[in-house]
Amino acid sequence: MDHNTTTTQPMFHIADARAAGFLALSNGKDVITWDDLKKASNDLGEQLSDEELREMLAHASPGKSLHVTEEDFFRILRG
């Protein structure tokens, strides 16, 4: 799967480019997890597979930790 802006950015743009977007996805935690992305994709009516969500997290997280920090989130937003 090619993780370009058309693949990754839509999930991270569900709110806006301010901290509210990160907080909306992370439910107030320090990181966005697979469960958070799964819930957001379901809420948006997106039919993303578990593998697609894992790949999104791997792409968004430089350390491949499968969670997204606030810094990672804003890096994705900036493109």
Average pLDDT over residues 34-48: 86
Out of 13-22, 31-40, 52-61, 68-77, which region has the weakest mean confidence (pLDDT)? 13-22
Q: Which CATH number fits domain 5-78: 2.60.40.420, 1.20.950.20, 3.30.565.10, 1.10.238.10?
A: 1.10.238.10
The terminus-to-terminus CA distance of the chain in angstroms comes to 18
Of the ranges 19-23, 68-72, 75-79, which is most confident? 68-72
Q: What share of the chain is helix, strand, coil (3-state, %, to 5)?
A: 60, 5, 35
- Average pLDDT of the chain to the nearest whole number: 74
Kindly report the backbone phi and psi dihedral angles of residue 37, in degrees, each rounded to the nearest multiple of 5, phi listed first.
Answer: -65, -40
pLDDT of residue 12: 54
**Predicted TM-score (pTM) of this structure:** 0.63
Tens-place pLDDT, residues 64-75: 678 888 888 888
